[in-house]
Amino acid sequence: MQKTAYSRPLPVPDSESTPFWDGMREGKLMLQRCASSGEHLFPPVTFCPGSLEIPEWTETSGKGEIFSWIVVRHPVPRDLYADEVPYVVAIVALDEGCRMTGNLVDVAPEDVRAGMKVEIVYNHVTPEITLPAFRPTGS
Amino acid sequence: MFKLSDKYAIAGIGNTEYSKFSGRTVRSLATEACLKAIEDAGLTVADIDGIVSFNFNDSAPAMGVATEMGIENAGYAVDYAAGGNGANLITLAATAAIEAGLAKNVLCFRAMNGRSGFRLGGGRDMSAYGVTQYTAPLGWITYPQAMAMWARRHMIDYGTTEEHWAEIATTFRDNAVINERAMQRTPMTKDDYYNSRFIVDPFRMYDICLESDGACAVVITSAEQARDLKQKPVYIMGGAYGGGPSQGDDLFDAIRWPSHSHNCFKYLADDLWGSAGIGPKDVDVAEIYDCFTYSVLMALEGLGFCEEGEGGPFVMGGRIARTGELPLNTHGGLLSEAYIHGFNHVIEAVEQLRGTAGARQIDGAEIALTTAGAMTCGSAMILRN
| Cα B32 to Cα B90: distance, rounded to the nearest angstrom | 19
SS3 B13: strand
pLDDT at A2 over 60: no
Q: How many CB atoms lie within 10 A of CB A59?
A: 11
What does the pLDDT read at residue B120? 80
Does A87 fall in a domain?
yes
Over the stretch B145-158, which tens digit does the pLDDT of each residue have?
Answer: 999 999 999 999 99
In this complex, the residue of A73, A98, A101 whose CB is nearest that of residue B140 is A101
Judge contact between B50 and B105, C-beta under 8 A.
yes
Return the residue in A67, A74, A84, A96 with the most chain B beta carbons within 10 A, the one to mutate for interface testing.
A74
| Cα A20 to Cα B167: distance, rounded to the nearest angstrom | 44
3-state secondary structure B162-193: HHHHHHHHHHHHHHHHCCCCCCCCCCCCHHHH
Identify the CATH number of the domain in which residue A87 sits. 2.40.50.840
**pLDDT below 70 — which residues of chain B?**
122-124
Does A71 fall in a domain?
yes
pLDDT at A4 over 70: no
Does A8 fall in a domain?
no
Measure A98 CA to nearest chain B CA, in Å.
Answer: 8
Name which of A76-85, A97-106, B4-13, B28-37 the model is least confident about: A76-85
Return the residue in B133, B147, B253 with the most chain A beta carbons within 10 A, the one to mutate for interface testing.
B133
Query: In whole angstroms, how far apart are CA A30 and each of A21, A59, A62, A131?
Result: 8, 5, 9, 13
Output B358-367 pairs: Cβ under 8 A, ≥24 positions apart: B359/B178, B359/B179, B360/B175, B360/B178, B360/B179, B360/B322, B360/B330, B360/B331, B362/B284, B362/B285, B362/B322, B362/B327, B362/B330, B364/B284, B365/B284, B365/B285, B366/B284, B367/B237, B367/B278, B367/B282, B367/B283, B367/B284, B367/B285
Does B188 fall in a domain?
no
Share of chain B above pLDDT 90, in %: 94
What does the pLDDT read at residue B125? 82
Does B159 fall in a domain?
no
Going through A4-115 in order, the beta strands assigned E by DSSP cover: 10-11, 29-33, 40-41, 56-60, 63-72, 87-94, 99-104
Does A13 fall in a domain?
no
Exposed, middle or buried: residue A83 (CB in 10 Å: 0-12, 13-18, 19+)? Answer: exposed
pLDDT at A96 over 60: yes
Chain A residues whose CB is inside 8 A of the B138 CB are 89, 101-103, 131
| Cα A58 to Cα A62: distance, rounded to the nearest angstrom | 12
Does A1 fall in a domain?
no
* Nearest residue to B364 (alpha-carbon basis) of B314, B333, B327: B327
Return the residue of B nearest to A133 by Cα. Answer: B138
| Cα B169 to Cα B332: distance, rounded to the nearest angstrom | 9
| Cα B98 to Cα A3: distance, rounded to the nearest angstrom | 62
CA angle at residue B225 from B343 to B217, to 5 degrees?
15
Which structural domain range is residue A44 located in? 18-136
Chain A residues whose CB is inside 8 A of the B153 CB are 67-68
CB-based contact A11 B123, cutoff 8 Å: no
Identify the CATH number of the domain in which residue B344 sits. 3.40.47.10
Does A12 fall in a domain?
no
Measure A54 CA to nearest chain B CA, in Å.
Answer: 18
CB-based contact A73 B199, cutoff 8 Å: yes
In this complex, the residue of A70, A84, A100 whose CB is nearest that of residue B201 is A70
Does B19 fall in a domain?
yes
CB-based contact B133 A76, cutoff 8 Å: no
β-partners of residue B128 are A11
Angle, helices B62-69 vs B26-41, to 10°: value is 60
Return the DSSP state at B207: G
Q: Is the previous residue joined to B202 through a cis bond, with omega within 30 degrees of 0? A: yes
Does B56 fall in a domain?
yes
What does the pLDDT read at residue A134? 98
CB-based contact A17 B133, cutoff 8 Å: yes
CA dihedral angle for residue B151, residue B157, residue B163, residue B168, rounded to 10 degrees: -50
Does B347 fall in a domain?
yes
Q: How many domains does chain A have?
A: 1
| Cα A61 to Cα A100: distance, rounded to the nearest angstrom | 13
**A3 confidence band (pLDDT: 50, 70, 90):** low
β-partners of residue A88 are A71, A104
| Cα B91 to Cα B30: distance, rounded to the nearest angstrom | 16
Return the residue of B nearest to A104 by Cα. Answer: B138
Does B72 fall in a domain?
yes
Does B219 fall in a domain?
yes
Residues 6+ apart with CB under 8 A from B252: B131, B132, B135, B140, B146
What does the pLDDT read at residue B363? 97
Measure A1 CA to nearest chain B CA, in Å.
Answer: 25
Judge contact between B254 and B102, C-beta under 8 A.
no
Q: How many domains does chain B have?
A: 1
| Cα B220 to Cα B361: distance, rounded to the nearest angstrom | 23
β-pairing, B198-201 with A63-72? Answer: antiparallel
Task: Tell me the pLDDT of chain A averaged across its residues.
Answer: 95
Chain B residues whose C-beta sits inside 8 Å of any chain A C-beta: 121-131, 133-142, 145, 148-150, 152-153, 156, 197-202, 246, 253, 255-256, 260
In this complex, the residue of A8, A70, A73 whose CB is nearest that of residue B137 is A8
Does B248 fall in a domain?
yes
Query: In whole angstroms, how far apart are CA B191 and each of B168, B174, B187, B194, B336?
Result: 14, 14, 11, 5, 17
Which structural domain range is residue B53 located in? 8-118+209-384
Chain B residues whose CB is inside 8 A of the A13 CB are 133
In this complex, the residue of A43, A71, A100 whose CB is nearest that of residue B131 is A43
Judge contact between B58 and B65, C-beta under 8 A.
no
Does A118 fall in a domain?
yes
Backbone angles phi, psi at B243, to 5 degrees: -175, -160
Judge contact between B50 and B97, C-beta under 8 A.
yes
β-pairing, A56-60 with A29-33? Answer: antiparallel
SS3 A5: coil
Residue B381, sorted as left (phi over 0), alpha (psi -120 to 50) or beta, turns out to be: beta
No. of helices (H) and no. of strands (E), chain B: 12, 12
**Residues of B identified as active-site:** 289, 339
Query: In whole angstroms, how far apart are CA A28 and each of A103, A130, B175?
Result: 17, 10, 54
Going through B82-231 in order, the beta strands assigned E by DSSP cover: 106-113, 127-128, 198-201, 203-204, 213-222
What does the pLDDT read at residue A1? 44
Which of the pair, B124 or A35, is modelled with greater confidence?
A: A35
Chain A residues whose CB is inside 8 A of the B140 CB are 70, 72, 89, 101
Return the DSSP state at A77: S
| Cα B112 to Cα B59: distance, rounded to the nearest angstrom | 5
